[in-house]
Amino acid sequence: MKVLIFCILSMALMQFELHAQNEVIYDTILLLTHKEKGKTKYLVKGKKITHWKKVDGAKNKGRLEGIKENKLLIDGVEYDFEDFKQIRAKSSGLKVIQISGKVVMATGTLVTVLGGYWIFYGYSIAGSDACGSGILIVFGVLAASVGIASVIIGSIPLLFSGKKFDMDLWDMEMQLVPDKKAKRKLARQQKKEALE
């Protein structure tokens, strides 16, 4: 009896999964194709971008909220594809490297302050009978120099600003791609409804 119930439930779940796989939800992306080299890059909704207009060359920053057939929705304002002179967007890898650089800079700053404190404290006890003042000064100089080097190394990724697309060299088009997150969310909702 248990085997029969298990078989019926598993067949019902298989039918449900097959039905859920047939439904595909699409999302739109902005596909940029280089006119000469054929390279392709893409931008997705929710990405922060900087764009320059062709008319007056004004620089604007905003979040890409929507992509339509020949228009982009940036912070609630629609722009035609032809309105752009240049677009700049940071990749996810660059963002991770910049955040790591900020963490290294903060750590270097703390180590520099600690080294400075050791140097100051070593000089303040130099006249007493304590023999550790020389050791404190040496370790303070070492810590401060390592901290300063960390601050310099951590600031290097902050100099990079992301890929700039010149619209004279790149073609823009909207493209539909399967949205994996929405597909998973729909599958969870359908399983939940089937169990109820």
Q: In this predicted model, what pLDDT tens digit does every residue of 49-75 receive, in sequence order?
A: 888 888 888 888 888 888 888 888 888
Write down how long the chain is.
196
* pLDDT tens per residue across span 12-44: 655 555 444 455 566 777 888 888 888 888 788
Question: How many Å apart are CA 78 and CA 84, to the nearest integer?
Answer: 12
Find the mean pLDDT for residues 143-160.
Answer: 92
- Residue 44 sits at φ, ψ, to 5 deg, of -110, 165
- pLDDT of 18: 45
Percentage of residues of the chain with pLDDT beyond 70: 83
Find the mean pLDDT for residues 167-181.
Answer: 77
Q: Model pTM?
A: 0.58
Burial environment of residue 92 by CB neighbours within 10 A (0 to 12, 13 to 18, 19 or more) = exposed
When pLDDT is cut at 50, 70 and 90, the band that residue 5 belongs to is: low
> Taking each helix axis from N to C terminus, what angle separates 133-155 and 92-124, rounded to the nearest 10 degrees?
160
- Bridging pattern class, strands 71-74 and 77-80: antiparallel
Residue of 168, 162, 164 lying closest to 81 (CA atoms): 168
Q: Is the dihedral of CA 74, 76, 77, 80 positive or negative?
A: positive
Question: How many Å apart are CA 57 and CA 20, to the nearest integer?
Answer: 48
CA–CA distance from 51 to each of 67, 93, 191 (Å)? Answer: 15, 20, 43
Neighbour count for residue 169 (Cβ, 10 Å) = 12
